[in-house]
């Protein structure tokens, strides 16, 4: 087994295990910590694929930003409600069946017609290329995301502000 | 180059303007509503200046017949909804008028981008830009007992379906190696199993968005809790946007390879028609009744889509317009009655014909159109989609559709019976605010006009659909 394959399977175990822990833990706070591990594992997959920029963004935005916000939300909500909130995952059986079905579908599809394994040639400076693509070919969705953020912020403020 | 983007740029400018004006004044309703209405109407006119067939960014953004047709539908229906929502009495709508209208405009912007997107990332951003303001608008009465809960449900279902859509897109990208929709027809014809899986995910995610069976559960709760003039629009425009996305992904340029989806869409259509119509019968709340009947109408439109032919898609587009006028009109009458009676029960319609004959007549026309009675728009709409399905030999589906149409007439006429046969509980007429009356009048003209003279709409729909199959 090559080092790459070894790293991949290691990450896979961490990813699947922590993702399962997110939905199965009763303690909401622990679930967030498992989520942070899962998101960090995803960054590891990006690293393995030579996408350093994406890995950094993944760590900063998701493992850093999103997890912090979720922790804040839990703490604030628990103070408002005045009790510990625990996670209840109902219909685990139904979820397991759906997940198993999708897994079977994906695995059988890949077995039937394997995808190309060789990697496309890597450009020298990926970060620069990402920047250029975002400002040229994908400039329209990029700008629209700014409008989306404005709308999202306004919605959040609308719900959060007290009535005057 | 920017002419292709003109309607979108105009909508963005309008959104910013409305927000700025709203931040300047803090008392009373302010001009946000009228400004939005004028802006939407002006943008509607502007769409006629956009040359058909222009495209931007390597064809990832196109202004073709379909996108202009859909954009006009979004703008027109939004204008009607804004006109009617200016008569809302709750304080939130006047105090937070700028926020309300900003959200409406941004959502319309998202829909119009979605209709023009020929690229997966733009398509998805358009979807989110459309959906996120809708969650806000659903829960706009944030101190209300039910609105925030309905908004949260709608949000959870909406984000979950978006996740399913992105998951499906990742498969499509993995197989085609490009985010452009232009690569889909070849990959579909080649039939890679991962491609089929991805497209199945996309169909499921979009099924949530248009509230097709079995993804329809969110619609009645959301409709019941949100403000009625907004629901009138919510029940038509995002559905139309979902259908446009389905056409772009599954029909446009795909040709004969699309036919493998025919059984799946046909089953979805049949189940949606049956579920919507059967669930509508026991409803005592008129908004829930219209929600389930709306689900049934999505089923009828899916019949047109299942034909996967030029005439099928054309008739589905015709159906969309007829449904827009009929369904919006019915919801606007509901708003008038609910504001006067403080009740959304169907019993509030007792003796409406004696109290307010014109309002009752308008409601009757809308119900007959939704039911598919001759000489109003809905009749032609149903006839045409069934016709398109028969051309493809889908006799079973059309037979099923005809049966549930009779079932639908039963619950529409239950409301009509309360209006025309039962005695009123109170003698005084239902007051209809002028602007709401104007919006209802536009819907009546649309429904009756399309019913008496459907030819120009049919020609337009045929022309738009024919470009998708060339």
By the CB < 8 Å criterion, does B56 face chain A? yes
What is the domain-level CATH number for residue A49? 1.20.120.1200
- Contacting residues of A for B196, CB less than 8 Å apart: 109
The answer, yes or no, to whether residue A15 has pLDDT greater than 70, is yes
The helix (run of H) or strand (run of E) holding residue B55 is strand B54-56
pLDDT one-digit tens code per residue, B302-339? 998 888 888 888 999 999 999 999 999 999 999 998 88
Which residue from A137, A155, A163 is facing B132, i.e. has the nearest CB? A155
Q: Please tell me which of B24-28, B257-261, B393-397 the model is most confident about, judged by mean pLDDT.
A: B393-397
pLDDT of residue B364: 92
A145 belongs to a structural domain: yes
* Cis ω before B214 (30° cut-off from 0): yes
A67 plus A139 within the same structural domain: no
Average pLDDT of the segment spanning B356-375: 89
Count of structural domains, chain A: 2
- Contacting residues of B for A145, CB less than 8 Å apart: 125
Closest CA to B99 of B75, B129, B133, B127: B133
Write out the residue range of the structural domain in which residue A150 sits: 123-164
Quote the ipTM score: 0.89
B250, B207 Cβ separation under 8 angstroms: no
Q: Measured between alpha carbons, how far is B258 from B183 in angstroms, rounded to an integer?
A: 14
A25 belongs to a structural domain: yes
B64, B467 Cβ separation under 8 angstroms: yes
B74, B116 Cβ separation under 8 angstroms: no
A115 belongs to a structural domain: no
Q: Measured between alpha carbons, how far is A73 from A79 in angstroms, rounded to an integer?
A: 10
A20 belongs to a structural domain: yes
Whether pTM > 0.95 for this model: the answer is: no
pLDDT of residue B14: 93
Q: Measured between alpha carbons, how far is B71 from B69 in angstroms, rounded to an integer?
A: 6
The helix (run of H) or strand (run of E) holding residue B54 is strand B54-56
Give the C-alpha distances (Å, rounded to integers) separating B136 from A40, A157, B211, B226, B260: 32, 11, 19, 10, 38
A19 belongs to a structural domain: yes
Rg (CA), chain B: 21
Q: Measured between alpha carbons, how far is B230 from B85 in angstroms, rounded to an integer?
A: 7
Which DSSP category does A86 fall into? B
**Percent share of chain B, pLDDT over 70:** 98
A106 belongs to a structural domain: no
pLDDT of residue B177: 82
pLDDT of residue A59: 93
Give the C-alpha distances (Å, rounded to integers) separating A27 from A23, A68, A80, A93, B317: 10, 17, 18, 20, 50
A64 belongs to a structural domain: yes
Give B411's Cβ-side CA count (13 Å radius). 25
Average pLDDT of the segment spanning A90-97: 87
Domain termination residue (choose one: A90, A110, A137): A90
pLDDT of residue B155: 92
Q: Do B129 and A152 touch (CB under 8 A)?
A: no
pLDDT band at B470 (very low <50, low <70, confident <90, very high): low
Which residue from A112, A139, A148 is facing B193, i.e. has the nearest CB? A112
B301, B316 Cβ separation under 8 angstroms: yes
β-bridge partners, B358: none
A147 belongs to a structural domain: yes
pLDDT of residue B78: 94
Domains of chain B: which residue ranges?
Answer: 1-253, 260-470
pLDDT one-digit tens code per residue, B378-393? 888 888 889 888 888 8
The answer, yes or no, to whether residue B445 has pLDDT greater than 90, is yes
The answer, yes or no, to whether residue B27 has pLDDT greater than 70, is no
Closest CA to B80 of B425, B362, B446, B403: B446
B282, B152 Cβ separation under 8 angstroms: no
Chain A: nearest CA to B75, how far in angstroms? 18
pLDDT one-digit tens code per residue, B192-224? 888 888 888 999 899 888 988 888 888 888 898
Q: Do A147 and B136 touch (CB under 8 A)?
A: no
Average pLDDT of the segment spanning B229-242: 93
The residue of chain B nearest to residue A145, with distances taken between CA atoms, is B125
pLDDT of residue B349: 85
- Contacting residues of A for B133, CB less than 8 Å apart: 151, 155
CA dihedral B193, B195, B198, B203 (to 10 degrees): -100
- Contacting residues of A for B115, CB less than 8 Å apart: none
β-bridge partners, A86: A27
Burial (CB count within 10 angstroms: exposed 0-12, middle 13-18, buried 19+), residue B1: exposed
Closest CA to B35 of B86, B74, B76, B72: B86
The helix (run of H) or strand (run of E) holding residue B62 is strand B61-63
Average pLDDT of the segment spanning A42-67: 90
Q: Do B121 and A115 touch (CB under 8 A)?
A: no
């Amino acid at each position: 087994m090559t080092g790459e394959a070894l790293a991949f399977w290691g990450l896979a175990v961490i990813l699947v295990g922590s993702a399962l822990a997110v939905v199965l833990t009763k303690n909401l706070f622990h679930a967030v910590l498992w989520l942070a591990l899962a998101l960090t594992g995803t960054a590891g997959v990006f690293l393995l694929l030579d996408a350093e920029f994406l890995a950094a963004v993944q760590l900063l935005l998701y493992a850093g930003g999103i997890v912090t916000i979720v922790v804040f939300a839990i703490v604030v909500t628990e103070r408002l409600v005045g009790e510990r909130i625990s996670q209840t995952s109902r219909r685990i059986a139904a979820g397991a069946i759906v997940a198993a079905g999708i897994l079977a579908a994906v695995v059988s599809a890949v077995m039937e017609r394997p995808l190309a394994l060789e990697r496309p040639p890597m450009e020298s400076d990926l970060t620069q290329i990402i920047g250029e693509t975002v400002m040229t070919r994908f400039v329209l969705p990029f700008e629209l995301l700014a409008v989306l953020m404005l709308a999202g912020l306004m919605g959040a403020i609308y719900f959060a502000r007290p009535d005057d | 180059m920017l002419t292709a983007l003109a309607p979108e740029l105009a909508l963005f400018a309008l959104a910013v303007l409305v927000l700025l004006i709203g931040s300047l004044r803090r008392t009373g309703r302010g001009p946000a509503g009228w400004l939005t209405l004028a802006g939407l109407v002006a943008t509607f006119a502007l769409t006629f200046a956009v040359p058909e067939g222009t495209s931007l960014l390597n064809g990832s953004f196109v202004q073709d017949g379909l996108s202009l047709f859909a954009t006009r539908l979004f703008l027109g229906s939004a204008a009607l909804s804004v006109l009617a929502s200016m008569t809302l009495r709750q304080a939130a709508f006047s105090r937070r008028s700028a926020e309300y209208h900003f959200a409406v405009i941004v959502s319309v912007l998202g829909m119009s981008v979605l209709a023009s997107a020929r690229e997966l990332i733009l398509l998805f951003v358009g979807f989110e830009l459309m959906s996120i303001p809708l969650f806000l608008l659903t829960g706009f009465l944030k101190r209300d007992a039910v609105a925030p809960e309905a908004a949260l449900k709608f949000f959870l279902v909406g984000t979950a379906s978006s996740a399913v859509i992105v998951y499906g897109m990742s498969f499509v990208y993995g197989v085609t190696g490009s985010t452009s929709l232009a690569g889909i027809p070849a990959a579909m014809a080649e039939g890679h199993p991962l491609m089929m899986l991805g497209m199945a995910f996309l169909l499921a995610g979009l099924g949530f968005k248009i509230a097709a069976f079995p993804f329809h559960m969110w619609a009645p709760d959301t409709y019941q809790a949100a403000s009625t003039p907004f629901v009138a629009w919510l029940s038509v425009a995002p559905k139309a946007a979902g259908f446009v996305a389905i056409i772009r992904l599954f029909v446009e340029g795909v040709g004969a390879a699309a036919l493998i989806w025919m059984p799946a869409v046909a089953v979805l259509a049949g189940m949606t028609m049956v579920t919507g119509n059967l669930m509508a019968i026991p409803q005592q709340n008129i908004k829930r009744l219209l929600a389930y009947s709306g689900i049934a109408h999505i089923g009828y439109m899916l019949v047109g889509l299942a034909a996967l032919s030029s005439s099928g898609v054309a008739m589905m587009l015709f159906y969309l317009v007829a449904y827009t006028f009929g369904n919006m009109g019915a919801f606007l009458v509901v708003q008038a009655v609910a504001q006067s009676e403080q009740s959304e029960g169907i019993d509030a319609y007792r003796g409406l014909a004696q109290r307010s004959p014109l309002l009752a007549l308008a409601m009757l026309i809308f119900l007959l159109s939704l039911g598919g009675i001759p000489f109003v728009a809905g009749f032609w709409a149903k006839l045409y989609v069934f016709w398109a399905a028969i051309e493809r030999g889908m006799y079973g589906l059309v037979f099923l559709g005809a049966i549930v149409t009779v079932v639908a007439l039963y619950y529409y006429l239950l409301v009509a019976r309360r209006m025309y046969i039962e005695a009123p509980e109170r003698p005084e007429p239902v007051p209809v605010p002028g602007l709401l009356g104007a919006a209802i009048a536009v819907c009546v003209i649309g429904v009756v006009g399309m019913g008496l003279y459907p030819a120009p709409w049919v020609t337009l729909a045929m022309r738009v659909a024919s470009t998708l199959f060339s």
